[in-house]
Structure 1
Amino acid sequence: MVDTSIHSVPLGKILFDTFGGFPRALPLDRASKGQILDFQDVIVPIASPVYGDSDDLSWLEDGDLVMGYVSGEKAFAYPINVLNLHEIVNDEIDGVPLLVTYCPLCFSGVVYHRELDGRLLTFGNTSALYQSDLVMYDHQTGSYWFQVAGEAVVGTLTGSRLKLLPSTTMFWGEWKRLYPETRLLTGTAQSPRAFDGGRYRRGFPGNFQDQINKGRFIFPVDEEKLDDRLDKGEIVLTVEVGDAATAFPLGIIGDGAVNHQVGGQPVVVFARAGSRAVGAFSPVVDGRRLTFDYREDTESFFDRETGTRWDEAGRGVSGSLAGAQLPRLDTRRAFWFSIAIALPKVEVYLP
């Protein structure tokens, strides 16, 4: 049970979704212990995930979005339509305890390392929102976590932050092209094909981003926390190096290679508007810093120093650096309003 005597945000700002009950939003400081427990995992998190082949979900189309995670030579895809209904995946891949998270209300896809100070944490769903973003809880202490920030905001772990890991989001067709041997989240150990049902065909409304831009949030957001440097619903990729963070607005970048610095370190962002593909990498290979351009005629990325052609996954495809892999950087992807609230000191890249 969460210890509500310790918190870094007002308890009244954490609102339980009563899923059609009255009131629709119940503040944490007005909820009984019984209600808090009843709300836990109404949105069922995924434990013991099972992965199948790329054709194992009959409804998944090339134009559907997936979150992607890469471990060495292995690639794993998490369909957004599945995450819409589950939001949390507890997993372990190649010895790394992963927490794959997604909140449909702020389009926030983030992957974390779920070990904190040597302690393995398992996460569930509180059914609550803070600033219209998912609030998770950990089974070990009951602490509440602000998803997009990866920060505990209520309970004994208040102030703790989970380690961010690299991830990406793009259309399924593009992910398959980049990673033809990808594994695909299809179910759980109890039901390996659980996610092949018809209810997973449904995505989010197509005009949802426009509603966010107009300030029509599903749950309350503090106006004073909003940041007008970008539209509220602008999708941004936030690249983090140490304590520094820079948000790259995808609608402004379009197709392009952005050579930039974050926290004094060189970074490059590869973006393709048509496939929604975007990734952030260190542009240093064998101690040599590279500079990149996107060429529309070939729809590819090239470095100026060697002329090597690179794909959206940061891999050298042809040229003297063919076979090289640019190191992936830690990222969060979400609507701008939620990034600005989670990371108030974030810088914004504008060309």
Structure 2
Amino acid sequence: MAGAVVILGGSLLMTSGPAMDQNDLLDWSAYDFPPSPPPDTGPSDPATILMYVLSDEYPTSGGSPAEAALNTVVRRRDTRFVPVLIELVRANQLSVSRGAGLEANVAALESLSGRSFGADWPAWVEWYGRTDLRAPPGFTGWKGRLLGRIDPGFEEFLPDGVEARIRVEEVLWGGVSVDGIPALDRPSVLPAEEAGYLQPGEPVFGISIGGESRAYPLRIMDWHEMVNDVVGGVPFSLAYCTLCGSGIAFDQRTADGMAFTFGSSGLLYRSNKLMYDRQTRSLWNQFTGEPVIGDLVGTGIQLRRLPVVVTSWQAWREQHPETTVLDISTGFDRRYELGAAYGEYFASPATLFPVPVRSERLPPKERVYGLTVGDASVAYPVGVLSSRRVTNDVVGTTPVALVATRGSLTVHPDGAGADSVYEAGGEVRAYASGGRLFRPGPDPGTVLDSGGGEWVVTEGALLGPEGERLARLNGILSYWFAWFEFFPRTTVYSDG
């Protein structure tokens, strides 16, 4: 007799029941093949073999035994197969696996889960992300093999037995192949005065290290999402998740002397891109700079964030007249126009991929500037920061000052309709204030302390009138849903 299904607080759990054995799977004699593992996979656990049967890894002259396998799963009420069926529903929709067919897989999924989402795959993914369910043994290798039908590179990322610190069940295909969104490696750059393709008000990522400054226009970054570059002698990767609205710069070097370059895996986790390093092909969380699947999991490696700001091209040039900027001749054939790649997504209030963990404290795609200090995290709505211009606060026990004196950044792209906008957040920098209180200064590049002393806003520090230096803090500009996904204990700053 199978274990019982219990629903507690919206989470579906499977109580313990007797383990499957080979004869409990199905009547193998009904098919013209022996009950041996699929080629090159070697699974031996009966539940593992059953997954491969469900995904048509046992082709026979008499057809697929997937329907009989599906009946076995339902009969035994084995909820470990809920994530398997969610994968198969998507595989049916993408025509990469037929198995028992979409209708049969959906019916089995609804029977096992007690939910009625039909063929609404995003709803299944979001629901599953809020449960404590676990997949059968061998699920990672099976999923890698299934995704490998789209691109063999996915199978390399998800071999059987690979270390993982996230639920592999929640790793999703993002609609492109490995490096289908190609990184820019040491791209060609231009002096500012030669970059005639840029509008003064359009958004750029700005990075300044060791006295050297460079701008990375979003009209180009939207198409590439990753740059491996060197500025001021520091090798870094600018990892940009368009889905999350977050561009984060990481030092490629680790404390133990390792160095990595990165590409886009084509896979997602909770609507955030999973980047991969080219040295070990481990998958990394773009938001935290940590390896989450692969050989580097458990090593304690976490990339160091570097200061990056989103601002207008004109404002960046005024602050850094010596800056260089990406050459629009990248070597790739892309429509490098502002908003051409993701303009509709940026303008929409909706997310594109499933987001299992949500908070209604803010709209999902409201822009926030997130700060973490120790175990404390705070999300600052960019609209609030822009209206205040200078915000004094405390994160945990650390006094901070956030400077947003140039307001929010919204652009109407050339050639687009009057209602078309490209919203990119705003120019925000945060500093450890040491308890000093600041207010806006006479121009966007300065702030005043409580005594009227004038401080200069720079990329590395807030510079005081007597040579004081208040260190820059590396925050993240992103959509609210993304910040909350990875910092669920965050507080939200209120102007009240």
TM score, norm. by length of structure 2: 0.58
Q: Which amino acid in the other structure matches residue 285 of structure 2?
A: F
Aligned to 2:174: 17
Three-state SS of the structure 2 residue aligned to 1:59 is: coil
What corresponds to 1:178 in structure 2? Answer: 319
Q: Output the amino acid matched with 1:307.
A: G
Paired with 1:252 and 1:151, the residues of 2 have a C-alpha distance of 30
1:205-284 paired onto structure 2 within 5 Å: 208-209=345-346, 211-212=348-349, 216-222=350-356, 225-255=357-387, 256-271=389-404, 272-275=406-409, 276-284=426-434
- Counterpart-to-counterpart distance in 1, 2:190 and 2:432: 31
Deviation of residue 45 (structure 1)?
0.4
Distance 2:290 2:468 in 1: 35
CA shift, 1:210, in A, is 5.5
Deviation at 1:163? 1.6
Gaps of 5+ in 1: 20-38, 188-192
Distance in 2, Cα, partners of 1:71 & 1:149: 21
- Assess, with a 3 A threshold, how the Cα gap between structure 1 residues 312 and 247 changes in structure 2: closer, same or farther: farther
Q: How far apart, CA to CA, are the structure 1 residues paired with 2:158 and 2:253?
A: 20
* Match for residue 82 of structure 1 among 183, 198, 220: 220
Which of these residues, 188, 191, 200, is aligned with residue 53 of structure 1? 191
Q: Deviations over 1:136-155 (max 9, x none)?
A: 11111111112122222211
User: Cα distance 1:337–1:266, how it changes in 2: closer, same or farther (>3 A)?
Assistant: same
Match of 1:33 in 2: none
Shift in alpha-carbon separation, 1:7–1:76, aligned structure 2, 3 A: same
Counterpart CA distance in 2 for 1:270 and 1:147 is: 25
C-alpha separation between the residues in 1 aligned to 2:190 and 2:479? 30
Counterpart-to-counterpart distance in 2, 1:46 and 1:67: 14
RMSD: 2.7
Please state whether the residue corresponding to 2:392 is helix, strand or coil. Answer: strand
The 5 A counterparts of 1:97-112 are: 97-112=235-250
Question: Is 1:194 aligned with 2:330?
Answer: yes
Contact 1:3 1:156 in 2 (8 A): no
TM-score (norm 1): 0.80
Compared CA separation, residues 345 and 172, structure 1 to 2 (3 A): same
Return the offset for 1:228. Answer: 2.3
Cross-structure match for 1:34: none
1:157 maps to 296
Contact 1:114/1:121 (<8 A) preserved: yes
For residue 489 of structure 2, the aligned residue among 341, 345, 348 is 345
Taking the aligned partners of 1:325 and 1:82, their CA distance within structure 2 comes to: 34
Aligned to 1:148, which of 260, 276, 287? 287
Contact 2:239 2:286 in 1 (8 A): yes
Match of 2:465 in 1: 321
Q: Is the 8 A contact 2:462 2:472 kept in 1?
A: no
* 2:212 equivalent to 1:66: no
Task: Call closer, same or farther: CA 1:309–1:171 in 2, change over 3 Å.
Answer: same
Alignment partners' CA distance in 1, 2:437 and 2:230: 35
Question: Do the aligned partners of residues 143 and 315 (structure 1) sit closer, same or farther apart at CA in structure 2, a change above 3 Å counting?
Answer: same
**Contact between 1:45 and 1:124, CA under 8 Å: does it hold in 2?**
yes
Contact 1:112 1:164 in 2 (8 A): yes
The runs of 5 or more residues in structure 2 that have no matched partner are 1-155, 410-425
Higher helix share: 2
Instruction: Give the C-alpha shift of residue 119 in structure 1.
Output: 0.8
Is 1:93 aligned to residue 253 of structure 2? Answer: no
The one of 430, 447, 466 equivalent to 1:301 is: 447
Cα distance, 1:118 vs structure 2: 1.9
Change (3 A) 1:339 1:246: same
**Structure 2: which amino acid aligns with 1:168?**
V
Q: Could you say which structure has the greater relative contact order, defined with CA pairs below 8 angstroms and 6 or more residues apart? A: 1
Q: Which one has a larger percent strand, Structure 1 or Structure 2?
A: 1
Q: Amino acid of the residue matched to residue 284 of structure 2? A: W
Cα 1:151/1:196, change in 2 over 3 Å: closer
Cα contact 1:291–1:305 (8 A) shared by 2: no
Query: C-alpha displacement at 1:49, in angstroms?
Result: 2.4
> 2:212 touches 2:231 (CA, 8 Å); kept in 1?
no
Pairing 1:290–2:428 present? no
What is the distance in 2 between the residues matched to 1:322 and 1:195? 48
Within the candidate set 165, 187, 193, 1:8 is matched to 165
Cα offset for 1:309?
A: 5.2
